[in-house]
Homo-oligomer: A and B are copies of this chain.
Amino acid sequence: MREIRRHATTSRRSSAVVYNGMAFIGGQTAEDRTLDIRGQTRQVLAKIDRLLAEAGTSKSRLLSVQIWLKDITHDFAGMNEIWDTWTAPGNAPTRATVQCALGLPEILIEVIVTAAVDEAEVE
């Protein structure tokens, strides 16, 4: 049976799951929800950097990303300003960004990620 590695697992969710050469990272939101879209985006991407590192990979190995914004008209440009400087040059993932109400009114952005993981290849 091929191994599944789970990180920070509760009865509700794992923060990350690694399987079959891929890391799946669940919906990440900012800790400080008083921040504007730039600040929340920075915090979300920093959390993703940490979760990718724990999973044995990095942002240079991203495959696909989904971004949900509370207000895409107001916050799309600000999110992209932070996003575009965060991506690893030449290695941006596929991406889709849509507008949805999120878990709490003060959450402006939520992001999920799929990334390649190398160590799973040598299992």
Contact = CB atoms under 8 A, between A and B. Distances in A.
A7 to B, nearest CB: 9
A102 B98 contact: yes
How many copies of the polypeptide does the oligomer hold?
3
Using C-beta atoms within 8 Å of the partner chain, give the interface range for chain A. Answer: 35 or more
Given A17-B63, A26-B96, 10 more contacts: A4-B61, A4-B91, A11-B89, A11-B92, A13-B95, A19-B63, A20-B20, A25-B94, A96-B110, A98-B101
Interface string A3-16: 01010011111111
| A-side interface mostly | mixed
A21 interface: yes
Nearest to A111: B96
